[in-house]
């Protein structure tokens, strides 16, 4: 492909793995990040892994002047838009920031892309847009009923992007709904680096097994699942990154906006994840049961058939690989 691929939020957890997958495929990523929730230290690591300098521009995705300069200075062929605020609890307390960055940021980016004549966009959405699923597995045509601020900002950004493609058939957009990304690059040079105590299960298991983070509080033992704990569709971040690459290729020929679930298509309970993680790290994870977390659901997992059919993509790495790579990253320091 001629031109560079802009990865907004490219210093973040998903974005950095996406940038690496692009470089591995012989494409040229350029990162836009404001480092508000990521580290500059990821950049030299990406360049070392890629064997060439991975370029970056430091700016907020809402900064249209900075975006205009970027599109003026670099030949951009397509954009992968990962920049955004995430975190379900955080969204509830900071709705203005979440709407501004997640929806306003997407609008600012689209405005400047339109001016520059760049019309291919891959958008980081989330399975959170579905809310409580009515049936399993969850297909892309399931109703979108997010039950929190974070999910509503993702749904709104999706709606906006669909409106763009309706008004102007030049736009080609893939909406990627991530299930539960986890794990790290097998080199253990890039990975998820949450600040403080992680909220998500796998990074929390890494910290607990690493020591100093107490025990795992399992949110509920009475869910209507086989062992009573919550079931989720965990997806290796490397598989997720490859899904973005497949989506970029898909947009070369596909008009309109298309949503894709990126997930493994099956679920694992919290206890199954804990056991897999214990096997990967060779340590026992101390745990206890506590009441359910507000907003949690019993069980959800993807129907990834559309991604398989249209993107020729499917997850290739299993839960053991997720745990092994996450633990290797933790042993290497688990951060930047």
Cα gap 163→150, rounded to integer Å: 20
Q: Please state the closest distance from residue 263 (CB atom) to ligand UD1, in A.
A: 11
Minimum CB distance to ligand UD1 smaller for 103 or for 218: 218
Catalytic residue chosen out of the listed positions 13, 150, 234, 301: 150
Minimum CB distance to ligand UD1 smaller for 54 or for 176: 176
Q: Please state the closest distance from residue 23 (CB atom) to ligand UD1, in A.
A: 24
Cα gap 153→123, rounded to integer Å: 13
Q: Count the residues in the chain.
A: 336
Comparing every residue's Cβ against ligand UD1, the nearest one is 230
User: For binding to ligand UD1 (CB under 6 A), which residues are involved?
Assistant: 88, 126, 128, 180-181, 199-201, 204, 216-219, 230, 232, 270, 293, 295-296
Minimum CB distance to ligand UD1 smaller for 105 or for 203: 203
Cα gap 181→201, rounded to integer Å: 10
Burial classification of residue 52, based on how many CB atoms lie within 10 Å of its CB (0-12 exposed, 13-18 middle, 19 or more buried): exposed
183 in Cβ contact with 321 (< 8 Å): yes
**Alpha-helical runs (H) found in the chain:** 13-24, 42-50, 64-73, 88-93, 95-98, 105-116, 149-167, 201-210, 237-251, 270-281, 305-311, 319-331
Beta bridge partners of 138: 302
Burial classification of residue 312, based on how many CB atoms lie within 10 Å of its CB (0-12 exposed, 13-18 middle, 19 or more buried): exposed
265 in Cβ contact with 301 (< 8 Å): yes
Residue 234 bears catalytic tag: no
Minimum CB distance to ligand UD1 smaller for 192 or for 242: 192
Beta bridge partners of 7: 31, 80
Minimum CB distance to ligand UD1 smaller for 165 or for 180: 180
Q: Please state the closest distance from residue 88 (CB atom) to ligand UD1, in A.
A: 4
Q: What angle do CA 37, 43, 45 make, to 5 degrees?
A: 115
155 in Cβ contact with 295 (< 8 Å): no
Minimum CB distance to ligand UD1 smaller for 27 or for 208: 208
Report the catalytic residues.
Answer: 150
């Amino acid at each position: 492909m001629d031109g560079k691929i802009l990865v907004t939020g490219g210093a973040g957890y998903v974005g950095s793995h996406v940038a690496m997958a692009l470089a591995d495929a012989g494409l040229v990523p350029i990162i836009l990040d404001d480092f508000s929730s990521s580290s500059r230290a990821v950049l030299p690591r990406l360049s070392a892994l890629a064997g060439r300098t991975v370029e970056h521009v430091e700016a907020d995705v809402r900064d249209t002047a900075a975006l205009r300069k970027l599109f003026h200075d670099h030949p951009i062929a397509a954009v992968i838009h990962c920049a955004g605020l995430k975190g379900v609890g955080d969204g509830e307390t900071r709705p203005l920031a979440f709407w501004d960055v997640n929806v306003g940021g997407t609008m600012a980016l689209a405005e400047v892309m339109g001016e520059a004549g760049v019309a291919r966009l891959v958008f980081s959405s989330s399975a959170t847009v579905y809310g409580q699923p009515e049936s399993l597995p969850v297909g892309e045509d399931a109703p979108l009923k997010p039950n929190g601020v974070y999910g509503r900002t993702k749904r709104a950004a999706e709606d906006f992007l669909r409106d763009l493609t309706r008004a102007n058939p030049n736009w080609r957009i893939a909406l990627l709904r991530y299930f539960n990304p986890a794990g790290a690059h097998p080199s253990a040079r890039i990975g998820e680096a949450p600040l403080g105590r992680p909220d998500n299960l796998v990074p929390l298991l890494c910290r607990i097994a690493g020591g100093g983070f107490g025990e795992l509080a399992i949110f509920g033992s009475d869910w209507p699942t086989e062992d009573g704990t919550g079931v989720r569709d965990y997806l290796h971040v490397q598989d997720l990154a490859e899904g973005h690459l497949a989506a970029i290729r898909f947009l070369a020929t596909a008009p309109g906006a298309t949503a894709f679930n990126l997930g493994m298509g099956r679920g694992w309970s919290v206890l199954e994840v804990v056991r897999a993680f214990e096997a990967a790290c060779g340590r026992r994870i101390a745990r206890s049961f506590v009441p359910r977390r507000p907003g949690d659901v019993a069980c959800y997992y993807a129907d990834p058939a559309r991604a398989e059919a249209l993107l020729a993509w499917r997850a290739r790495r299993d839960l053991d690989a997720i745990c092994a790579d996450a633990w290797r990253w933790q042993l290497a320091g688990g951060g930047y």
